[in-house]
Amino acid sequence: MSSDPEQEFLADGIAEDVITALSRYPSLFVIARNSSFTYKGRAVDVKQVGRELGVRYVLEGSLRKSGDRIRVTAQCVEAETGKHVWAERYDRDLADIFAVQDEITEAATIAIAPAIADAERQRAMRRPPANLDAWAAYQRGLWHLGQANKDDNVLSQQFFRQAIDLDPNFAGGYSGLSTAYILAVTQFQTRPIAELQELAAPLARRAVALDNTDADARACLAVVLLTRGDFGAVQIEADRALAASPNLAHAHGVRGVGLMLAGEREEGIRSLLNCTRLDPLDPLVSLRLSQIALGHYFSRDYEAAVEVAKRIIQSYPDFPTSYRTLAAALAQVGRLDEAKDTLAKALALAPLSFDMYVRGRPPWIRGEDHAHMLEGLRKAGWKE
């Protein structure tokens, strides 16, 4: 917002970097720099921009400089309605122009992609189910999947199948349905564990076959491989996903849990924390936090496991995994009365989950880690 060429250079650099970063998200269609920059410095109507470029959202911003400080403001607007989807302001010291440019680019990109994803899901929910195209059916499936309960999981499967029927070449329908099947087995126990490979694996592989550059599909395949306990293959697919989309939270998450379960606890927890930082409002964030708590427990850092598990239970009281980890960790540090009470809640809340993860051993949990969990639960009073 000045005639200073240096400021214009910085503003253009931030804009160009944001365009490049957003274009690496598989779910976003992003207009290239040359077309976007034709609107630079002009007072334009976002509805007009949306019509002319064929986009649903417009990201606009400005830069001001005062002394050695800069202020960048940005807002994302739904073009059709003019409704604000997201807005933020960034104040920075201008010590290193390129470092500031990178920092603002990363912060804005990380915030924008989840905001648009949420707006798309809300938009799909406003449409009648009988009037959905493949993309809207997929978004509606994601909305139900994000409710993280058994009934909505079943509904999500219906919408993902609808997306596949409407467009058999749309990878998102296959990866979405694969994810719903995985959660049906691992979180809700509505399907037997044997069906993971039978149902979920072919769908994930089909998604990758349709678009081998789709980071979401790669991350979904990594989850399928994780359920087999094939930790080396998990890292290969997760790394491929991150090479295509470095800020994809889901890919950081599956990479982290794969490392953590393979025994590389510290690196795994770092990746899981990065996942929650990139998408802190993800409806399934409770799952990632529970995996962090489990990583601390397997690392014998019982106090950290207690702290994280209690925080999860406070925010997500119906999520069963955290109670098991908390009961075992409390028992390991000698807080036996608390451990006993927590164990009783774990058994009452999700007996089927307890059967699957404690009385049985899923293939993604190593034998020594399973024995370590049993040790803590026995100290808490569990009788086999």
Domain spans of the chain, in order of start: 5-125, 128-211, 284-384
- Tell me what pLDDT residue 228 has: 95
Token code pair at residue 280 = 């802190």
* Of 166, 87, 80, the residue nearest 123 (C-alpha): 80
Angle between helices 321-332 and 367-379 (to 10 degrees): 70
Phi/psi zone of residue 192: left (φ > 0), alpha (ψ -120 to 50 degrees), beta?
Answer: beta
- Tell me the pLDDT band of 131, cut-offs 50, 70 and 90: confident
Average pLDDT over residues 118-136: 89
Residue type, 279: D
- pLDDT top residue among 5 and 60: 60
What pLDDT is attached to residue 319?
Answer: 83
Is the pLDDT confidence value at 240 over 90? yes
Whether the pLDDT of residue 151 is over 80: the answer is yes
Domains 128-211 and 284-384 share a fold: yes
* pLDDT score for 2: 73
CA distance 17 to 11: 10
In this prediction the pTM is 0.87
Backbone angles phi, psi at 84, to 5 degrees: -75, 130
Contact 16, 239 (CB under 8 A): no
Helices within 211-248 (DSSP H only): 215-227, 231-244
pLDDT value, residue 175: 96
Mean pLDDT confidence for 277-289: 86
- Report the percent of the chain where pLDDT is more than 70: 100
Please say if the pLDDT value at position 5 is more than 80.
no
Give the single-character DSSP code of 199. I
pLDDT-based confidence at residue 283 (cuts at 50, 70, 90): confident
User: Which stretches of the chain are assigned E, i.e. beta strand?
Assistant: 57-66, 69-78, 84-93
Answer whether CATH 1.10.10 is correct for domain 128-211: no
pLDDT digits 0-9 by tens, 76-114: 999 999 999 999 999 998 888 888 889 888 888 889 988
The 10s digit of each residue's pLDDT in 50-78 is 999 999 999 999 999 888 888 999 999 99
- Band (pLDDT 50/70/90 cuts) for residue 203 is very high
DSSP three-state, residue 58: strand
Q: What's the pLDDT score for residue 251?
A: 96
Alpha helix segments (H runs only) across 126-230: 134-145, 150-166, 171-186, 195, 201-210, 215-227
5-125 carries CATH number 3.40.50 = yes
**pLDDT for position 9:** 84
Residue 15 has pLDDT above 80, yes or no: yes
Question: For residue 273, is pLDDT > 90?
Answer: yes
- Note whether 19 and 32 are within 8 A (CB): yes
Q: In what order do the strands lie in the sheet with 69-78?
A: 57-66, 69-78, 84-93
pLDDT at 185: 92
- pLDDT number for residue 267: 98
Task: Give the tens place of pLDDT for each residue, 255-266.
Answer: 999 999 999 999
pLDDT at 227: 95
Percent of the chain whose predicted confidence (pLDDT) is above 90: 69
b or e along 29-50 (b: 16 or more beta carbons within 10 Å of the residue's beta carbon)?
A: ebbeeeebeebeeeeeebeebb
Mean of the pLDDT values across residues 323-335?
Answer: 98
346 vs 351: CA distance, rounded Å: 7
pLDDT band at residue 42 using 50, 70 and 90 as cut-offs: confident
pLDDT computed for residue 95 by the predictor: 81
Residue 95 is given by DSSP the state: S
Under CATH, to which class is 284-384 assigned? mainly alpha
- Using a CB cutoff of 8 Å and minimum separation of 24, what contacts does 182-187 make? 182/223, 182/224, 182/227, 183/145, 183/148, 183/153, 184/150, 184/153, 184/154, 184/157, 185/227, 186/227, 186/362, 187/148, 187/287, 187/353
Confidence of residue 275 (pLDDT cuts 50, 70, 90): very high
Average pLDDT of span 146-166: 94
Q: What is the mean pLDDT of residues 195-215?
A: 93
- Pairing verdict, β 84-93 and 57-66: unpaired
Mean of pLDDT over the chain: 92
Find where tokens 């596949």 sit.
Answer: 164
